[in-house]
Amino acid sequence: MKARLLLMTAVLAAGVLLFLADSGEPGRANPIGPTAGQAEHPVHESGFIYDERSGVMAHVASIAPLDEGQMAAAWYAGSREGARDVAIFFARFDGRRWQSPRVLVDARSCSRETRMRVKKVGNPVIFRDLQSRLWLVYASVFEGGWSGTSLNYKVSSDAGETWTPSRKLFLSPLLNLTYNVKNKPVLLEDGSFLLPVYHEMLTKRSALLHVEPDAEGATYRVRRITFGARAIQPAMFPLDGRRLMALFRNMDGGQVLAAESDDAGGTWSDLYPLELPNPNAGFDAIRLGSGTILAAINNSPDDRSDLSLAVSDDDGASWRITRVLEQQPEMEYSYPSLAMDDSGLIHLVYTYRRQSIKHAVFNEAWLEETAP
């Protein structure tokens, strides 16, 4: 009897330890991964991809699906934003745990691969194309601040195990110092894609990069979206047919701005405000399988201390907040990135207090679940 009681006590203690290990406390990369098949039941889990490290800043994460329900993420980290020691990190999620992060590129390797001087790197965007290749597009700076960026890309054909050397995107005759990137592209049926980019030098505007992959890398051309407005970092998604919608960070603050295209990005409407606040901060938005548009935003006109999920069921005409993910005064929860895996689960990564990268996975049932 005494031995049985000791055994039961040990089992209960082990259960408590397992619960604490999965509790999602900052500073630990916790395993997450709900059962994908339970689409009718609310699903939500969260944990950390990149743990808090003393003296290290982490920022601007991007997430993309891989085959067989896996995911990939990229972000940058270093002593401070824009420092020479900043590197772009990569990790892969097997459906349950994130692997240990590894460096994909830093200023030195970018300079070596592109044969150009590079002061710093940042703003990675990672995505899968229709041929299941994984792309990384990222910014590098020759000198000065973010207004002096140019863009580079690397491609992996084995889910991020190996990568091509960085190649430079030449988008401007002015020393190629113009464009930056924040959000993923819209994939087209012919295998090409439309990557939203933005221009920061002298004037603030947004554009599309129409990329056609080929055996030599890619051919590409730039199309403007906005003219003369301080609307940058577009989050773009398809509506129906050839219709596209883009939502923009508003550098004047106040509200999210939007524009639409009826011809697959060839021409765009004038900008108009949405009923979503924007404190001059980056965000992301995607269209779900149900047709609902999901946006991850800072739900404040003033700061980045609130990170919430908003949905629209009428192609962006009206919005409602369904979930508040983070909310603490004077803290920063920012630069979210959204993607869906092949089973339909929604994945979100974001900057957590400028010290770590957090990951959440959930389904539409959880989005709409009524609080008890």
**Domain locations along the chain:** 46-366
Mean pLDDT, the chain, rounded, equals: 88
pLDDT single digits (tens) 96-108: 999 999 999 999 9
How much is the pTM? 0.89
Architecture of the domain spanning 46-366: 6 Propeller (2.120)
Calculate ∠ Cα 318-301-197, nearest 5°: 75
Task: Give residue 32's pLDDT band: very low, low, confident or very high (50, 70, 90).
Answer: low
What pLDDT does residue 39 have? 55
Q: Nearest to residue 220, comparing CAs of 198, 188, 193?
A: 193
Q: Torsions phi, psi of 251, nearest 5?
A: -70, -15
pLDDT greater than 70 at residue 2:
no
Could you report the per-residue pLDDT of 240-284, keeping only the tens digit for each?
989 999 999 999 999 999 999 999 999 999 999 999 999 999 999
Q: Among 60-69, 107-116, 165-174, which is the least confidently predicted range?
A: 165-174
DSSP, collapsed to helix, strand or coil, labels residue 238 as strand
Q: How remote is the C-alpha of 24 from its chain's centroid?
A: 20
In sequence order, what E strands does 117-204 have?
120-128, 134-141, 149-156, 167-169, 179-181, 186-187, 193-199
Rounded mean pLDDT, 42-53: 95
Give start and end residues of each alpha helix (H) in the chain.
2-21, 107-114, 364-368
Condensed to tens digits (0 to 9), the pLDDT of residues 207-249 reads 999 999 987 788 999 999 998 778 999 999 999 989 999 999 9
Please say if the pLDDT value at position 318 is more than 80: yes
